[in-house]
Amino acid sequence: MGSPYHQFCPVAKAMELLDERWTLLVIRELLAGSRHFNDLRRGLPRMSPTLLSKRLNQLVASGVVERRRDGREVVYSPTRSGEELRPAIELLGAWGMRWTGVLGDVDLDPKLLMWDLHRNVDRALVPSGTTVVQFDVTDVAARQGQWWIVLTPEEVDVCDADPGHEVSATVTGSLRSLVEIWRGDRTWIDALRAESVTITGPERIRRLIPAWFRPGNFAAVPRPDPDLVA
Amino acid sequence: MGSPYHQFCPVAKAMELLDERWTLLVIRELLAGSRHFNDLRRGLPRMSPTLLSKRLNQLVASGVVERRRDGREVVYSPTRSGEELRPAIELLGAWGMRWTGVLGDVDLDPKLLMWDLHRNVDRALVPSGTTVVQFDVTDVAARQGQWWIVLTPEEVDVCDADPGHEVSATVTGSLRSLVEIWRGDRTWIDALRAESVTITGPERIRRLIPAWFRPGNFAAVPRPDPDLVA
DNA sequence: CAGTATCCCTTATGATACTG
DNA sequence: CAGTATCATAAGGGATACTG
C-alpha cells in the first residue's frame, strides 16, 4: 500500500507493504499480543489515531491483519501472513539492539516502559490477591513520573493514577536506569547493588520484583564487539 | 535518519534507520554485490540519483555502509552492521515471495531482469572466449525489448545495444515468462517445454543457458498453501 | 564515473478536538 | 471503546538536466 517500486524483486514487494512509517511497529504490537485499537495506541503513543486507523486498514487490505467484530468490540489480529513476519521483526530488533547505538533521552518514554513491563509479567509468579507495585521515576515530570502496576494472577494493569489499593512495594529509579534493565544492559541485581534503582517494601515482595518485571525480549541479544560499534 | 519514533524499543530504533522508502533496497543491492553508484542505479532504476545519493549518505552516517575512495572511483560497501542485515532482508524477501500475491504488469521491469540475470551468472560454467546471448523480450517496447549478455569466464556484461560480437544463442519469451523463471514459479525446463520461452542456437549453448541464467535467490522459497493466500 | 542542481507538488504526518 | 474530522506544515520524492 505504500507507493509501488515497480520491481518484481520480492524484497521490494515486501517493502511496498511494510516500509511506511509506523507499519512494522503496528505489526510488532500485534505480535506482542495487543488486540484492540486503544491497546495498540498505548504501545504507539506518538502515533495519531487517524494514522493508526489508516495503517490498520492498509494491513487488513494487504492480508497481514484480520479485523473482526466481537460483539461491540473490534479485534485486530495477525493473519498467517502477519504471524510469519515475526522472525523478520525479531531479527530487525536484534539488529537494532546491536547496531543502533546509545539511546537518546528522547527515546526514553515512561509510558512505553510501563506498558511493556506490565505486558511481560509472568502471572504464574503473582500471588493470589492483589499486589500493587508503585514505580517512582525520578527524573520525569510529575504527570509521567508515578505509576502503579496492579497484579493479580488473572490480570496485570498499569495505572497512571493511584489505584487506591495499598501499595505493596515501590521501585524508584531514573528512567534511563529502568530502561537499561529492560534492555538487558544491566540486570536488576546489578542496578540494585549500585543503587541506581531501589526497591522499598517487604523483602518477600522485593525479591519477587525482578522476577515479575522481566527484561524485554531483546535483552539477551549478544552485543557486538565494542570496537566495531565505535 | 528517518524521523524518530521516540521509543527505546530496538525494533523502532532499527526502523528509524531502515524504514524510509528505498533504504532497504539500497542495502539489498549492496549485499548483492553492487559497489559503485552507477551499479546501484542499475539495480534501482526508478530511484532518482539525488535520492540515492541522500540514502547512501544516511547509511554511511548510521554506520551501515562504508564509503571509500579507490583512486578516482568511489566504492560503497556494507559494514559489519550492514552485513548483519542480510538475514533480515532474506527473511523479508522470502516473506514477500510467499505473501505479496501476483505481480502486476508494472512490476515487470526488463532492465532489472537483465541486471539480475547477468549478476547471478556462474562464471565457472562459461567457456573461454566470448559468448553472447541475445534476449528478445517479445512484449516490450523495442527500446527495452532487446538485450545482449556478453559472457566470458572473467566477466559478464549486459548491453541494451548490439555489442557487435556474433550472437551465440537467442532467448525469446514474454517478460512475464522470463520473470516467472527468475522467481522460480516455473523452471527453464517447463517453460521451454511449454514453449512460453524458446532458445535458438547450437544445442551445446542451448543446454547451458538454464545453467548460466539461474533463477533468483528466492526461487526456492516454499510457497504457502494456496488456500491461505486466497 | 559519481554525483549536484532545480523545481514542483503531492502526501504524509503531527496535533487536537470531537463523535456514535 | 473505536474511531473521524480538521488543519497546517513540512517533507518526501519524482523527473530531468547538468557538472567536475
Radius of gyration of chain B (CA): 19
Predicted confidence (pLDDT) per residue in A18-43, tens digit? 999 999 999 999 999 999 999 999 99
Q: Which residue of A has its CA nearest to B87?
A: A91
Please report where in the chains the cell 495499598 appears, as a residue.
Answer: A166
Nucleotide nearest to B48 (CA to C1'): D14
Distance B112 CA to D13 C1' (A): 21
Contacting residues 181-220/B vs strand D (CB within 7 A): none
As given in the structure block, the three cell numbers for residue B178 are: 522470463
- Beta bridge mates, B136: B146, B172
- Beta bridge mates, B118: none
Give the up-direction half-sphere exposure of residue B32: CA atoms within 13 A in the CB hemisphere: 28
How far apart, in Å, are the Cα atoms of A145 and each of A35, A43, B95, B153?
27, 18, 41, 67
Q: Is the Cβ atom of B21 within 7 Å of strand D at any atom?
A: yes
Nearest to B64 by CA among B38, B108, B99, B28: B28
Using the beta-carbon criterion (under 8 Å), do B63 and A99 form an inter-chain contact? yes
Determine phi and psi for A4, rounding to 5 degrees.
-75, 150
Q: Is B23 helix (H, G, I), strand (E, B) or coil?
A: helix
Q: How close A65 comes to chain B (CA, Å)?
A: 12
Please, where are the H alpha helices in chain B? 10-18, 23-31, 37-43, 49-61, 80-83, 86-99, 110-119, 142-145, 175-183, 188-193, 203-212, 226-229
Confidence of residue A130 (pLDDT cuts 50, 70, 90): very high
Q: Among B6, B93, B228, select the one facing A109 at the smallest CB separation.
A: B6
Q: How far apart are alpha carbons B230 and B220 in whole angstroms?
A: 21
Q: Is the Cβ atom of B7 within 7 Å of strand C at any atom?
A: no
pLDDT of A199 over the 90 cut? yes
Using the beta-carbon criterion (under 8 Å), do B9 and A89 form an inter-chain contact? no
Residue B1's pLDDT is what? 72
Q: What is the DSSP letter of B61?
A: H
Q: Is the Cβ atom of B128 within 7 Å of strand D at any atom?
A: no
Confidence of residue A228 (pLDDT cuts 50, 70, 90): low
Q: Identify the structural domains of chain B with CATH numbers, from first to last.
A: 10-99 (1.10.10.10), 105-212 (3.30.1050.10)
pLDDT of A230 over the 60 cut? no
Q: Looking at strand C, which nucleotides approach a protein CB closer than 7 A?
A: 1-7, 12-17
Q: Is the Cβ atom of B38 within 7 Å of strand D at any atom?
A: no
Spell out the per-residue pLDDT of chain B, length 230, in tens: 788 999 999 999 999 999 999 999 999 999 999 999 999 999 999 898 999 999 999 999 999 999 999 888 999 999 999 999 999 999 999 999 999 999 999 999 999 999 999 999 999 999 999 999 999 999 988 778 999 999 999 999 999 888 889 999 999 999 999 999 999 999 999 999 999 999 999 999 999 999 999 999 999 999 998 766 65
Using the beta-carbon criterion (under 8 Å), do B7 and A25 form an inter-chain contact? yes
Residue A76's contacts (CB-CB under 8 Å, 6 or more residues apart) are A30, A34, A35, A36, A37, A40, A56, A65, A66, A67, A68
Residue A88's pLDDT is what? 98
Q: Is the Cβ atom of A51 within 7 Å of strand C at any atom?
A: yes
- The answer to whether residues B214 and B186 touch, using CB atoms and an 8 Å cutoff, is no
Residue A193's pLDDT is what? 97
Distance B51 CA to D16 C1' (A): 14
Q: How close B189 comes to chain A (CA, Å)?
A: 21
Q: Which residue of B has its CA nearest to A19?
A: B19
pLDDT of A210 over the 70 cut? yes
Distance A60 CA to D3 C1' (A): 16
Distance B48 CA to C6 C1' (A): 13
Q: Which DSSP string do the residues of B34-49 spell out, in sequence order?
A: --SHHHHHHHSTTS-H
CA B14 to chain CA mean position, Å:
25
Which of B1, B3, B13, B86 has the highest number of chain A CBs within 10 A, making it the mutation to test binding with A?
Answer: B13
The CA-based angle B126-B87-A27, given to 5 degrees, is 135
Q: How close B203 comes to chain A (CA, Å)?
A: 31
Residue B197's pLDDT is what? 98
Distance B13 CA to D15 C1' (A): 32
Residue B140's contacts (CB-CB under 8 Å, 6 or more residues apart) are B110, B175
pTM: 0.95
pLDDT of A134 over the 80 cut? yes
Nearest to B173 by CA among B211, B134, B121, B127: B134
Q: Which residues in chain A have Cβ-Cβ distances shorter than 8 Å to B104? A: 4
Q: Among B19, B80, B103, select the one facing A21 at the smallest CB separation.
A: B19
Q: How close B202 comes to chain A (CA, Å)?
A: 31
Predicted confidence (pLDDT) per residue in A39-90, tens digit? 999 999 989 899 999 999 999 999 999 999 988 899 999 999 999 999 999 9
